[in-house]
Chains A and B, each alone.
Chain A
Amino acid sequence: MSRSDWEVVIGLEIHAQLSTSSKIFSGASTAFGAQPNVQACAEDIALPGVLPVLNRGAVERAIRFGLALGSRIAPKSVFERKNYFYPDLPAGYQVSQLELPVVQGGTITIRVGEGEGAYEKTIRLTRAHLEEDAGKSLHEDFHGMSGIDLNRAGMPLLEIVSEPDMRSSAEAAAYARAIHALVRWIDICDGNMQEGSFRCDANVSVRRKGAEAFGTRREIKNLNSFRFLQQAIDFEVAWQIETLEDGGRFEQSTVLFDPATGQTRMMRSKEDAHDYRYFPDPNLLPLMIEPEWIERVRATMPELPMAMKARFEREFGLSAQDAAALIASREMADYFSAVVAATGAEHAKLCANWMMGELAARLNRAGLEIDAAPVSGAQLAGLLLRIADGSISNAIARQVFEALWNGEGTDADEIIERLGLKQVTDSGAIEAMIEEVIAANPKSVEEFRGGKEKAFNALVGQVMKASRGKANPARVNELMRRRLGT
């Protein structure tokens, strides 16, 4: 038996913290990074007598998510209590949704891999439900005790549960990235993984190829980067296959991934699982979402990534690969749209090339995201227009881009003008330079006439050098050929 005899089955549960300014059931602030417990009000501390009030902004964000995935928005959903004792769970229960979640079903199309081998796949969503986050236990030493920070208690979460549709860690990572991009795209979550705004749990099992029944699954908890997600799944899959091939067995269980060792380790088995005694929270009426509410939200939805990708291919003639790269994030798509709006659709391909080429490379070197790019969309558009109308060559354009990046000018035209970079197309000026080059390089002229085409390129290069790159290369070529009489 070998790795290729096994099929990997993965389903993801993603917790996206919704970008409301107050908590899901209280008025306390959701701002990140405050001193412990300063953003925990009476409700969050679960004082006697306090009651929850649902934040409609959180519901609206769930509706946005459901609309983006073509899900059913439940006209009636129910908040239930998940009961267990833990010091960072102040009420002794977490308010969540079990039987009737607010978002049901839906699909998302993901793109897996890059280049030739890239493929698209549609992943089904099981559900997405609203719930509150718990606080944090701080196990540093506080006078021999643990500390509790309840700032996070009551943060609004959307738990997004996929069907077990993914068949590799790459698919799982692509799905997680797609959901991550989407929640930011539709502006319901800031996606900040370092701050815990977007966390993944992966349910992983393996089965022999052709088998119908799923294998025993293990759930890897709290993966807070796509890299860890993929690493953890890879380790877990290898471990499961090895264990099974050695004739071993394992129980359904929950495991933790240790980024330091790259390994997963057992947290608790199914036998240790709590009986959470879910029941409808009597303090919260069923959540009723009337069609009018859904329509009001629909009216505020942006164009969605896959629709935008199809439009880019259709309207601008971009390749699927390019279009997919441009919708990788809302910021990327916004930037591209701004550039194209300024240059005109006929230059869309040039815009795409520059964004994926020079801009992407420069951002990558600087470790910046596109929304932090020092060159604005309008500035890039101004530069591209000068390439398009033949004012500057690509080589000069890169020079101008660098100047823009370094803040050495307000726009391309100003830099071109100031540095005198405008391409020379005037025949007289070019012919004068050609005469000088021919006079100075008799050997090359000789070789060319002897049939060596390379020598011609050397001569053209000398002219370009003499013009300090400003001469129009096509014009130089044409005039040089004419002068040498070929």
Chain B
Amino acid sequence: MTLSPIFDAPVSVLRRALDEKEISSIELTGLFLDRIEALDPGLNAFITVDRERTLAEARAADERIARNETKPLTGIPLAYKDVFCTEGMLTTCASKMLSNFVSPYDAHVVSLLKQAGAVNLGKTNMDECAMGSSSETSYYGPVNNPWEPGHVAGGSSGGSAAAVAARLAPIATGSDTGGSVRQPAAFCGITGIKPTYGLVSRYGMIAYASSLDQGGAFGASAEDCALLLSAMTGFDPRDSTSLDRPTENYAAAIEAPVSDAARPLAGLTIGIPKEFFPDEMGSEIRAAVEEALAQYRALGASLRDIDLPNARLAIPVCYVIAMAEASSNLSRFDGVRYGHRAAEYADLVDMYCKSRSEGFGAEVQRRILAGTFVLSHGYYDAYYLQAQKLRRLIAGDFQRAFAGCDLIAGPTSPVTAWVLGSMSDDPVQMYLADIYTTPVNLAGLPGLSHPCGFDAAGLPIGLQLIGNYFSEARLLTATHRFQQATDWHLRRPPVSAPAA
């Protein structure tokens, strides 16, 4: 199916079309809703779509546009990962536990985007409780990769990534605890950014691991990500880890004039950690990433080798911390006040056991159990405390590295999208695939993944850029310059409607 230009258009083009009344938000939104209806059965990117509600929001956006009360995202349809609470709408976290939970309030991100006039297309599929790297653990079934149905979309924000890649939504929100925005962006051939920890409020974003979770943005390009991220950030006094600093307009920042048009990245130093290019790395990924780095050099950036000696410890450290926090964060899902409660039980403990055993899938239960173990008396020092110490070492590595470079680059993932189910029996193997993304969360740094090629099977390969704290503008600008000179971000998957 050939994409009609409207689906393929960057948000800035949609903005102009809306402002010049070439199309209304109702019409635009209706087109996307139709496309979701036609194509999502083959992708399973969405958990909840509410056409009437969405069109009502579009109608309200049209009224704002008519009154010239327009903000950059007014009337633009977008999708929310189902980890964000949306008032009056099912918010499931892809778990049976919350399959009946209608949130009475909006997440901070949702209210910001609502205020901006963005139109909510629906809630996207994900790994249950954001626990996974493939979006296969969802109570609502796995997400398919638009480039190759039968392959995973990545995770945990796989639904959002697949929706944007297949142009079921122009842009979408995600959340990233150990790579859950960047890795599915890489697997689906789109751009995704996880900002500095504390930049996007976590209020109303259902917690997996609170010290690592951070909301992020998906788009076809850095330009679209910049627009969305600008509207998502802002101090929120309801989140004690939210950072009180002025918001930035990333969309304007990436368009800053350059003195040398041929070498727009002149002066930028990109550090290449040798730890991110091990010998056993797949040759296709290595080739694609190295070619992209050569492109960065051609654009004026200088490359230099750096060391991140403790990065190799990131997987166990990140998983110990994430599971420990998760074991506590998920205790509130106890069947008492909301969510799934077992139909029959003998007493209180039986009610807890049955409700939680029925409500949570295997991976979530595994992580709760492991997290409970590492916090237990006698094990806390050896696991949780040790992990916290190593976390500081890993963060220290980055600070030393940034003394000599502006950004760090490498592959987003050591693998491309695998076949659905092929890793399900070996969770540790799947955890290990998060090797390049987890150090970034541990340090609280911003990271971005953008497409930089394909493997022989035609599956996308992503390049990760990591910046120092609050360098979102630099990350997006570098990517934008790269995308102005290349066309990886313009490639679209051959999605088609399933056979009737």
| Residues of A bordering B, CB below 8 Å | 42, 45-54, 81, 83, 85, 87, 90-93, 148, 275, 277-279, 282-285
Give the distance in Å from the alpha carbon of A45 to the alpha carbon of B334 in the complex.
12
Give the distance in Å from the alpha carbon of A49 to the alpha carbon of B209 in the complex.
12
Contact B328 A81 (CB under 8 A): yes
Give the distance in Å from the alpha carbon of A51 to the alpha carbon of B213 in the complex.
13
Interfacial chain B residues near A90, Cβ < 8 Å: 332, 336-337
A-B contact pairs, 18 of them (CB 8 A): A47-B85, A47-B105, A49-B84, A49-B205, A49-B207, A51-B238, A81-B328, A87-B334, A87-B336, A90-B332, A90-B337, A92-B332, A92-B334, A93-B328, A93-B331, A275-B376, A279-B325, A284-B240
Q: Main SS of the interface on chain A?
A: loop
CB of A77, distance to nearest CB on chain B (Å)? 14
Interfacial chain A residues near B348, Cβ < 8 Å: 87
Contact A52 B204 (CB under 8 A): no
With A48-B85, A275-B376: A283-B105 Cβ-Cβ less than 8 Å: no
CB of B242, distance to nearest CB on chain A (Å)? 9
Give the distance in Å from the alpha carbon of A93 to the alpha carbon of B371 in the complex.
14
Interfacial chain B residues near A52, Cβ < 8 Å: 240
A26's nearest neighbour on chain B, judged by CB, is: B238
Stretch in B96-104, B164-172, B310-318 touching the partner: B96-104
Contact A148 B336 (CB under 8 A): yes
How many chain-B residues does the 8 Å CB contact rule pick out? 44
CB of B98, distance to nearest CB on chain A (Å)? 7
Contact A51 B239 (CB under 8 A): yes
19 more A-B contacts (CB under 8 A) besides A42-B105, A48-B332?
A: A45-B337, A46-B332, A48-B85, A49-B103, A50-B204, A51-B203, A81-B328, A83-B328, A85-B331, A85-B334, A92-B330, A92-B331, A93-B331, A275-B376, A277-B372, A277-B380, A279-B328, A283-B210, A284-B240
Contact A279 B380 (CB under 8 A): yes
Contact B336 A50 (CB under 8 A): no
Contacting B211 at CB < 8 Å: which of A81, A91, A282? Answer: A282
Contact A92 B240 (CB under 8 A): no
Interface residue B202 (Cβ < 8 Å from any Cβ of A): yes
Interfacial chain A residues near B334, Cβ < 8 Å: 85, 87, 92
Give the distance in Å from the alpha carbon of A54 to the alpha carbon of B240 in the complex.
8
Contact B240 A283 (CB under 8 A): yes
Give the distance in Å from the alpha carbon of A279 to the alpha carbon of B98 in the complex.
26
Contact A49 B380 (CB under 8 A): no
Give the distance in Å from the alpha carbon of A54 to the alpha carbon of B103 in the complex.
24
Give the distance in Å from the alpha carbon of A284 to the alpha carbon of B239 in the complex.
9
Interfacial chain B residues near A87, Cβ < 8 Å: 334, 336, 348
Contact A92 B202 (CB under 8 A): no
Contact B332 A91 (CB under 8 A): yes
Interfacial chain A residues near B98, Cβ < 8 Å: 48
Contact B85 A49 (CB under 8 A): yes
Contact A49 B204 (CB under 8 A): yes
Give the distance in Å from the alpha carbon of A81 to the alpha carbon of B237 in the complex.
21
Interface residue B496 (Cβ < 8 Å from any Cβ of A): no
A45's nearest neighbour on chain B, judged by CB, is: B337
Give the distance in Å from the alpha carbon of A93 to the alpha carbon of B372 in the complex.
13
CB of B176, distance to nearest CB on chain A (Å)? 16
Interface residue B61 (Cβ < 8 Å from any Cβ of A): no
Interfacial chain A residues near B331, Cβ < 8 Å: 83, 85, 91-93
Closest 8 CB pairs of A and B: A92-B331, A282-B211, A277-B375, A282-B210, A49-B204, A46-B332, A48-B206, A275-B377
Give the distance in Å from the alpha carbon of A90 to the alpha carbon of B380 in the complex.
24
Contact A53 B338 (CB under 8 A): no
Contact A49 B206 (CB under 8 A): yes
B107's nearest neighbour on chain A, judged by CB, is: A49
Give the distance in Å from the alpha carbon of A281 to the alpha carbon of B362 in the complex.
26
Interfacial chain A residues near B214, Cβ < 8 Å: none
Interfacial chain A residues near B84, Cβ < 8 Å: 49
Give the distance in Å from the alpha carbon of A48 to the alpha carbon of B87 in the complex.
12
- Which residue, of A48, A49, A90, A277, has the highest number of chain B Cβ atoms within 10 A? A48
Interface residue B241 (Cβ < 8 Å from any Cβ of A): yes
Interface residue B36 (Cβ < 8 Å from any Cβ of A): no
Give 1 or 0 for each of B59-86: 1 = CB within 8 Å of chain A CB: 0000000000000000000000000110
Contact A277 B328 (CB under 8 A): yes
Interface residue B44 (Cβ < 8 Å from any Cβ of A): no
Give the distance in Å from the alpha carbon of A47 to the alpha carbon of B337 in the complex.
9
CB of A79, distance to nearest CB on chain B (Å)? 10
B385's nearest neighbour on chain A, judged by CB, is: A279
CB of B386, distance to nearest CB on chain A (Å)? 13
B372's nearest neighbour on chain A, judged by CB, is: A277
With A93-B328, A93-B331, A282-B211: A47-B203 Cβ-Cβ less than 8 Å: no
Give the distance in Å from the alpha carbon of A192 to the alpha carbon of B207 in the complex.
37
CB of A248, distance to nearest CB on chain B (Å)? 29
- Which residue, of A90, A93, A283, has the highest number of chain B Cβ atoms within 10 A? A283
Contacting A48 at CB < 8 Å: which of B91, B210, B377? Answer: B91
- Which residue, of B93, B203, B336, has the highest number of chain A Cβ atoms within 10 A? B336
Interface residue B418 (Cβ < 8 Å from any Cβ of A): no
Give the distance in Å from the alpha carbon of A278 to the alpha carbon of B338 in the complex.
25
A150's nearest neighbour on chain B, judged by CB, is: B337
Interfacial chain B residues near A275, Cβ < 8 Å: 376-377
Interfacial chain A residues near B241, Cβ < 8 Å: 282-283, 285
With A54-B240, A275-B376, A275-B377: A47-B328 Cβ-Cβ less than 8 Å: no
A88's nearest neighbour on chain B, judged by CB, is: B336
Interfacial chain A residues near B352, Cβ < 8 Å: 85
Give the distance in Å from the alpha carbon of A341 to the alpha carbon of B104 in the complex.
58
Give 1 or 0 for each of B341-370: 1 = CB within 8 Å of chain A CB: 000000010001000000000000000000
Interface residue B324 (Cβ < 8 Å from any Cβ of A): yes
Interface residue B436 (Cβ < 8 Å from any Cβ of A): no
Contact B375 A53 (CB under 8 A): no
CB of B96, distance to nearest CB on chain A (Å)? 14
Interface residue B384 (Cβ < 8 Å from any Cβ of A): yes
Contacting B240 at CB < 8 Å: which of A42, A53, A81? Answer: A53
Interfacial chain A residues near B202, Cβ < 8 Å: 49, 51
With A52-B240, A91-B331: A277-B376 Cβ-Cβ less than 8 Å: yes
Give the distance in Å from the alpha carbon of A296 to the alpha carbon of B434 in the complex.
49
B375's nearest neighbour on chain A, judged by CB, is: A277
Interfacial chain A residues near B91, Cβ < 8 Å: 48
Interfacial chain B residues near A48, Cβ < 8 Å: 85, 91, 93, 98, 101, 103, 206-207, 332-333
Contact A47 B240 (CB under 8 A): no
A92's nearest neighbour on chain B, judged by CB, is: B331
CB of B415, distance to nearest CB on chain A (Å)? 30
Give the distance in Å from the alpha carbon of A93 to the alpha carbon of B375 in the complex.
13
A42's nearest neighbour on chain B, judged by CB, is: B105
Contacting A50 at CB < 8 Å: which of B203, B325, B337, B384? Answer: B203
B205's nearest neighbour on chain A, judged by CB, is: A49
CB of A270, distance to nearest CB on chain B (Å)? 13
Give the distance in Å from the alpha carbon of A85 to the alpha carbon of B347 in the complex.
14
Give the distance in Å from the alpha carbon of A148 to the alpha carbon of B241 in the complex.
31
Contact A53 B204 (CB under 8 A): no
For chain B residues 85-129, which have a beta carbon within 8 Å of chain A? 85, 91, 93, 98, 101, 103-105, 107
Give 1 or 0 for each of B378-403: 1 = CB within 8 Å of chain A CB: 00100010000000000000000000
A84's nearest neighbour on chain B, judged by CB, is: B331
B198's nearest neighbour on chain A, judged by CB, is: A285
Interfacial chain B residues near A45, Cβ < 8 Å: 337
CB of B209, distance to nearest CB on chain A (Å)? 8
A93's nearest neighbour on chain B, judged by CB, is: B328
B83's nearest neighbour on chain A, judged by CB, is: A49
B335's nearest neighbour on chain A, judged by CB, is: A87
CB of B34, distance to nearest CB on chain A (Å)? 31
Give the distance in Å from the alpha carbon of A87 to the alpha carbon of B327 in the complex.
17
B242's nearest neighbour on chain A, judged by CB, is: A51
Interfacial chain A residues near B105, Cβ < 8 Å: 42, 47
Contact B203 A49 (CB under 8 A): yes
CB of A470, distance to nearest CB on chain B (Å)? 70
CB of A174, distance to nearest CB on chain B (Å)? 36
Interfacial chain A residues near B206, Cβ < 8 Å: 48-49
